[in-house]
Amino acid sequence: MINEQMYAFGAESSKIREIFSYACARKEEIGAENVFDFSLGNPSIPAPAAVQESIARSLAEVPAAELHGYTPAPGLPAARAAVASSLNRRFGTTYTASDVFMTVGAAASVSIALHAAVCPGEEVIVIAPYFPEYRVWIETAGAVCVEVPADPETFQVVPGAVAAAITPRTAAVIINAPNNPTGAIYPRETLSELAEVLEEVNAAREQELGHPQPVVLISDEPYREITYGAEVPWVPALYEHTVVCYSYSKSLSLPGERVGWVLVPQVSEGARRMMAAVAGAARALGFVCAPALFQRVVIDCVDTPTDVAAYARNRELLTDALRAYGYTFVEPDGAFYLWVRALEPDAEAFCERARGFELLPVPSDSFGVPGWVRVGYCVAPETIERSLPAWQALAESYR
């Protein structure tokens, strides 16, 4: 017997991966320098030197059996404490190690948070466009993915639209800022409005049920450090029932090493039960014990800055050129994606035509909205430079 739901997830695979595979094959055919692959969110800058230094130090100083051994399921106490202290320094909080659960990257963080916060049959709201894996993780938890459109011009979350989508079965809302795929960052006022909406729902529910049953806000933040000046507000300061999901995949350029965390501020009995459910979900999903060597890297590098300058230069190069060629797009405040309006209503057809110019963006349909494409500019600047005549020719082909 095969699990048909899992078969479908595997057989469909991800559009992003499909384009990436095409790019690899095409590079073999016509040379890597002639293919402009903007599909993946793989950081183009190397991990900072502090990461290599940390690994070397661990190899030299930590006995091998300990270095490569199991850590406690929620992570090394020193790694959890290092994360808590770093957050305290940055956001004026008073977290401790027991608020932090180390994970195998943000994919695990969000999956775990969903399994901890949501029961089969309940609903989880996502803001469209959204990272396509959310639907897979939500449905794997037996829940229903409810799409709420972002503002169609700014791609900001619209608290009123979230309010309208909430039902008695709504268990959680996922937000992601800086956003993949639009680069949007939600300002403090918008997040406060969203918090107010959720507080109102919680109050009404408590009155009706006779016990609290708050909507959980899952804040997926792997791009927190990649911003071009805008503030990324600390969500738990605005809404108590927030679970923060993080990874070092983007900030330290370590996507292949699989390390991150879930934060559940232990402010109430409900939050303590939620953290126990996080531990239970990690156990149930087989995600216990994040990579031991990289938990040690987290201890050493928790405050190592991200080299945002390289992405900022790519962003400027790409946006200046695309603007000049007549494209419209959302000015990204963070992350390393440009959300560009397709030059025809069907984004898939636009991407097909772009392929003829060896340009490989990702059509927006896989992110839950029609008519746009995502251009990942976490690539070598030369790739962007070489791609510019192709972008121009693509635009001219529509005139």
Cα–Cα distance measured from residue 117 to residue 124, given in angstroms and rounded to the nearest whole number? 10
Q: Note whether 220 binds ligand PLP by CB under 6 A.
A: yes
Q: Note whether 337 binds ligand PLP by CB under 6 A.
A: no
Q: Note whether 365 binds ligand PLP by CB under 6 A.
A: no
Q: Note whether 193 binds ligand PLP by CB under 6 A.
A: no
Cα–Cα distance measured from residue 226 to residue 306, given in angstroms and rounded to the nearest whole number? 7
Half-sphere exposure of 41 (CA within 13 A, CB side): 22
Q: Note whether 41 binds ligand PLP by CB under 6 A.
A: yes
Q: Which is nearer to ligand PLP, 84 or 136 (CB)?
A: 136
Given 180, 227, 304, 319, the residue binding ligand PLP (CB under 6 A): 180
Residue list 51-110, contact with ligand PLP (CB under 6 A): 105-107, 110
Q: Note whether 260 binds ligand PLP by CB under 6 A.
A: yes
Minimum distance, C-beta of residue 12 to ligand PLP, in the bound complex (Å): 18
DSSP letters spanning 62-127 = S-HHHHTSPPPTT--HHHHHHHHHHHHHHH-----GGGEEEESHHHHHHHHHHHHH--TT-EEEEE
Q: Which is nearer to ligand PLP, 191 or 201 (CB)?
A: 191
Cα–Cα distance measured from residue 251 to residue 263, given in angstroms and rounded to the nearest whole number? 17
Q: Which is nearer to ligand PLP, 107 or 138 (CB)?
A: 107
CA distance to 163, 316, 341, 347, 357, per residue, from 350 (Å): 34, 23, 10, 5, 11
* Residues binding ligand PLP: number (CB under 6 A): 14
Helix (H) or strand (E) holding 338: strand 337-341
Residue list 233-252, contact with ligand PLP (CB under 6 A): 247, 249
Q: Note whether 222 binds ligand PLP by CB under 6 A.
A: yes
Contacts of 2 (CB under 8 A, 6+ apart): none
Minimum distance, C-beta of residue 28 to ligand PLP, in the bound complex (Å): 25
Binding site residues, ligand PLP, CB under 6 A = 41, 105-107, 110, 131, 176, 180, 220, 222, 247, 249, 255, 260
